[in-house]
Amino acid sequence: MILEIKDKKVISDTRMEKAKEFLADARATYADRRYRTSVNRAYYAALNAVRAILILEGANPETHDGAAMMLSLRFIKTGVLSVDVIKKFKILLSRRTDVDYGDFDTTGVTEAEDSLKSAEEVIEMIEGARKIIIADLSSLS
């Protein structure tokens, strides 16, 4: 299915709102000292931001690794986003996998704090690029 520009924007905005909501959840669970849950929510906040920018190019990955690969190919390799975005995203994915599936993970305050900071930075960088892309798309319609 091919999406029209207005549909891409609506979906992108919805996904970015979800990213910000999940980031707020990550902060709240961090404050409650629920560090594993905070790491999980920080990752999903970043994932939704990644999905928010990918849909603007019509890309809708079905897997976590697919999201990372598409982000790298479409936005990192092309110089739209810094390589730091994908590095932070992959660390967040790794930590999320550890807290969700690892039997002996040692996630604590340090990892949770770093995950929050990384998710905030990923979202901020993606939001900046996303606004430019939306403005460019809007000028085409």
Mean pLDDT calculated for residue range 40-50: 98
Find all residues with CB under 8 Å of 18, minimum gap 6, and list them: 48
pLDDT at 141 (0 to 100): 64
Q: What is the pLDDT of residues 48-71, one digit of tens each?
A: 999 999 999 999 999 999 999 999
Per-residue pLDDT averaged across 72-88, rounded? Answer: 97
Residues 41, 29: contact at Cβ < 8 Å?
yes
Q: How confident is the model at residue 1 (pLDDT cuts 50, 70, 90)?
A: low
Distance CA 50, CA 69 (A): 11
**Per the structure block, which two tokens stand in for 110?**
């340090």
Does position 139 have pLDDT exceeding 70, yes or no?
yes
pLDDT confidence band for 106 (50 / 70 / 90): confident
Whether the predicted model's global pTM rises above the 0.75 cut: yes
Class of domain 5-140: mainly alpha
The reported pLDDT for the residue numbered 138 is 82
Averaged over 17-27, what is the pLDDT?
98
The pLDDT score that the predictor gives to residue 134 is 94
Asked if residue 115 lies in contact with residue 38, where contact means CB atoms within 8 angstroms, the answer is: yes
